[in-house]
Amino acid sequence: MSVTELPLKSRLAREGRAMQKGQQTKAAIIDAALGLATQIGLEGLSIGALAEVTQMSKSGVFAHFGSREELQISVVREYHTRFEEEVFYPALQAPRGLPRLRAMFANWMKRTSVEIDSGCIYISGAVEFDDRPGPVRDALASSVMAWHSAMKRAITGAKEEGHLRADVDEEQMLFEIHGLILALHYEARFLKNPGSIARANAGFDNILRRYGAEPGAKAAARAQRTPKPATKE
């Protein structure tokens, strides 16, 4: 190794450590911002408030985001990442069809039960930004639509497996399931009505009974998907 290579490698190592430390600091700021946003909403986030919570300077926080809007978008993305890790990905371990749809709703309910106390960024953000076009609203809407698409795929899978009626409207069923979550937040978080979680679960069971396939439909659906052996002329 030449003498001239030593300073370069040392500098690159220092830069790598500095970058890693910067990423860790940014992640810590976003974590604190997410906790703050669940209490006061995305609109309540500010560089100054976050600097106070993290015990950093305003310039130090600002350097990681550049603007309040970018900070809000980073919080939305982090919330969505955690939502997927807690709700969506674990449900993929369940068999395709109704078991997976049930797992997705159960995980959604588990997270919602916690958010009755802490607050939901998707719901509070929708109230804050429903009539305010811009990058923050776009980030929120994109995250919610991505989750809705995943739920709709699960409903379609349940139809194809013969667990739901073939004529089920996926959009309608998704609308009703999402409505249970919104009603749960309103009833439990705002009105403080006891038994709201049990009623939401009962509502989901009612939806499945209403859209459930008749006995024998599962076998018929499997037979339709099984390729017929080629016949010899």
Per-residue pLDDT of 139-169, as tens digits, reads 999 999 999 999 999 999 999 999 999 999 9
Domain-located, residue 54 = no
DSSP state of 163: S
CA neighbours closer than 13 Å in the CB half-sphere of residue 13: 6
Domain-located, residue 10 = no
Domain-located, residue 161 = yes
Residue 207 near residue 177 (C-beta atoms within 8 A) = yes
Q: Please name the residue ranges forming H helices in the chain.
A: 5-40, 47-54, 58-65, 68-83, 89-91, 98-118, 121-129, 135-160, 170-184, 196-211, 217-225
Per-residue pLDDT of the chain (233 residues; tens, 9 = 90+): 544 555 655 554 554 555 567 688 889 999 999 999 988 899 988 888 888 988 898 888 888 888 899 999 999 999 999 999 999 999 999 999 999 999 999 999 999 999 998 889 999 999 999 999 999 999 999 999 999 999 999 999 999 999 999 999 999 999 999 999 999 999 999 999 999 999 999 999 999 999 999 765 555 555 555 555 554 54
* CA 63/CA 45 separation, integer angstroms: 16
Domain-located, residue 232 = no
At residue 129, the pLDDT reads 94
Per-residue pLDDT of 28-56, as tens digits, reads 999 999 999 988 899 988 888 888 988 89
Domain count, the chain: 1
* CA 218/CA 102 separation, integer angstroms: 17
Residue 143 near residue 201 (C-beta atoms within 8 A) = no
Domain-located, residue 22 = no
Domain-located, residue 83 = yes
Domain-located, residue 194 = yes
CATH code of the domain covering residue 153: 1.10.357.10
Domain-located, residue 126 = yes
* CA 120/CA 77 separation, integer angstroms: 13
Q: Residue 207 burial (CB < 10 Å; 0-12/13-18/19+)?
A: middle
**Residue span of the structural domain in which 106 resides:** 71-213
Residue 156 near residue 182 (C-beta atoms within 8 A) = no
Place of tokens 């439990």: 188
